[in-house]
A = this chain, B = another copy of it.
């Protein structure tokens, strides 16, 4: 087993996460007034400062509205929260993965990827093209060893370079959000994404299209590449949604929760 960093969580982190779950999972309905800070911090057993730090973060995430003099009210996060909330929505009550969120993730990825490749082909400079080909070159031996986990990392690196090359700050930031969401369930998805990850040829085709500044080809190849994993994921979801199936594992190693 590989050693990993100890995750240190502060009191306000705990409070924040607890309240996010309460709201996102619907146990605190929109419009509901939270208890007063002095009361709530006593209930939670933390000092008011820690609670306030958590509440401010909730407000920034668009989950509550704070008003001096008035009370802090729960908002309808479907109308007020931003994309950064996505990673908080992955897990349902009880720790199972919400397949609707996975499906959404795959769909937005499929919508963005072709345009990222297209713009990158239009705007990439020589240095970025070299960087792109370098990532693809590093993929080849890993593919030969069929090391899917490493391929997954290289795939993220590949898209990271493409996104930077697209010279579009919205794509860069959205990619960061989607990547961190994906990272949370990465291990559980290795097998489903296997076919896409093994398609290093498509990655090379994209890199070469970018090298030729051929935006049309880059777009089409990227579209085909991500449709790969997207379809596989849809198939899996169709199967898992049938029974009351848990999502603790799909196939091969990798534990969720």
Please give the residue numbers on chain A whose beta carbons come within 8 Å of chain B beta carbons, in ascending order: 8, 10, 12, 49, 52-53, 56-57, 60-62, 68, 78-86, 89, 100-101, 103-105, 107-108, 110-112, 114-115, 119, 164, 167-174, 176-178, 180
* CB atoms of B168 and A108 under 8 A apart: yes
Q: How far is the CB of A71 from chain B (nearest CB, A)?
A: 15
* CB atoms of A171 and B104 under 8 A apart: yes
The answer to whether residues A107 and B8 also contact, given A60-B61, A83-B83, A176-B80 and a CB cut-off of 8 A, is no
- Could you tell me the distance between the alpha carbons of A89 and B85 in the complex, rounded to whole angstroms? 19
The residue that A82 contacts in the complex, of B100, B101, B180, with Cβ under 8 A, is B180
Number of copies: 2
**Cβ of A86: which chain B residues have Cβ within 8 Å of it?**
169-170, 173
* CB atoms of A173 and B111 under 8 A apart: no
- A-B pairs with lowest CB-CB distance, top 9: A82-B177, A104-B170, A82-B84, A111-B115, A108-B170, A84-B84, A83-B83, A104-B168, A83-B173
* CB atoms of B173 and A82 under 8 A apart: yes
* CB atoms of B173 and A81 under 8 A apart: yes
